[in-house]
Copies of this chain bind each other. A is one copy, B any other.
Amino acid sequence: MRRRHKPPAGARPGTLVIPADALPPRITVMDYTPAKVRESQVTDPKALRPFAGEGTMTWIDVQGFGDEALLRRIAEIFHIHPLAMADVVNAPQRPKYDAYESNHLLICQMAHASGEKVMDLEQVSIVVGKSYVITFQERHGDLFDPVRERIRTGGGPIRTMGPDYLAYALMDRVVDGYFPVVERLGEVLQRLEEEILDDQVEHTPAQLHEARRHLAALRRLVWSQRDALNAALRQDGTPFTPPVQVYLRDVYDHAVQVMDLVESYREIAMGLMDIHLSTVSNRMNEVMKVLTIMASLFVPLTFIAGVYGMNFEHMPELHFWWAYPAVWVIMGITAGGLILFFRRQGWIGSGRSRREGRRGAP
């Protein structure tokens, strides 16, 4: 669970909570027309004012929330509603689409499968205006580099279309980012399945629990993301023009595909828990069988031996020369009978062949 940093209860709406370890903001501006692209780094928010009016298409990327005054200036210049700004900064929020008077807010959660962490989330907020798109990210990073590259090279319709297409391209990048995470969870499940079928069940329940937790979190996330996409597509006053809606529908389809994968992995995880529990039961059964066989075999024999260990004066059997071998014969017959009984019960068989058989699926 990520720590949610949010204002104290009862605070006035629009309060921004900047965590102590917030990074200093880095502002990159990409201003482009079909003909040319101009990139620049900005430090003074005043330099952004020209882009607020209609004119060339502009993409402003803000990374790091360490300077509240600067964020407030940007919000003021682009008429970002205080509540929208609070949602941007007070991460994490659920993915959502909100329409405001002068612009639209899209909250997304980017997922990475970085190093040790199976699922590392980062909030990406996209503000879509008449002729600009502003993206806000908590950390410095280069996740949108492929999109930036497409603007630079002018490949595809990206430079000829408006802010809605740019917003689409960014959201496409976000949703595509879920696939590697799901696939990694799929690999974890595959490894656990192999372990379970090989009877290596020591850490399985905790690890399955961990995987199911991630899947549940991802499911909630993608569900919200899908709803946000749907709202952005269908609500009155959507910023997405019909030609771009075709593309957005494609992103929506991808989100549904992620959902599908997550659902199927959830079912597999549940099935694995069942197999695991069944395996544990079977192993207990095996242990019990060994105990039962050993005890049932030797306890009667020991009893027979005990009888002839008694010290009664008058035990005629003790004096016959054939008594001792006869006792061995009796004990042999007893043991043989019991072994026959266990074999008929199916408790004695070759353990190895059974384990291999378990792998042979339909």
Q: Which of A188-215 contact B (CB under 8 A)?
A: 188, 191-192, 197, 199, 202-203, 205-207, 209-213
Q: A158-B12, A307-B305 are in contact. Are A285 and B288 (CB under 8 A)?
A: no
Contact A300 B310 (CB under 8 A): no
Task: For residue A258, give the distance in angstroms from its CB to the closest CB of chain B.
Answer: 11
Contact B253 A96 (CB under 8 A): yes
Copy number in the complex reads: 5
Q: A205-B279, A271-B212 are in contact. Are A10 and B312 (CB under 8 A)?
A: no
Mark interface residues in A147-186 (1 if CB within 8 Å of B CB, else 0): 1001000011010000000000100110011011000001
Task: For residue A280, give the distance in angstroms from its CB to the closest CB of chain B.
Answer: 5
Task: For residue A14, give the distance in angstroms from its CB to the closest CB of chain B.
Answer: 8
A interface with B by C-beta (< 8 Å): 1, 4, 6, 8-14, 81, 83, 86-87, 93-94, 96, 98, 100, 118, 144-147, 150, 155-156, 158, 169, 172-173, 176-177, 179-180, 186, 188, 191-192, 197, 199, 202-203, 205-207, 209-213, 216-217, 220, 246-247, 249-250, 253, 256-257, 260, 263-264, 267-268, 271-292, 294-296, 298-303, 305-315, 317-321, 323-324, 327, 345-347, 351, 354, 357-362
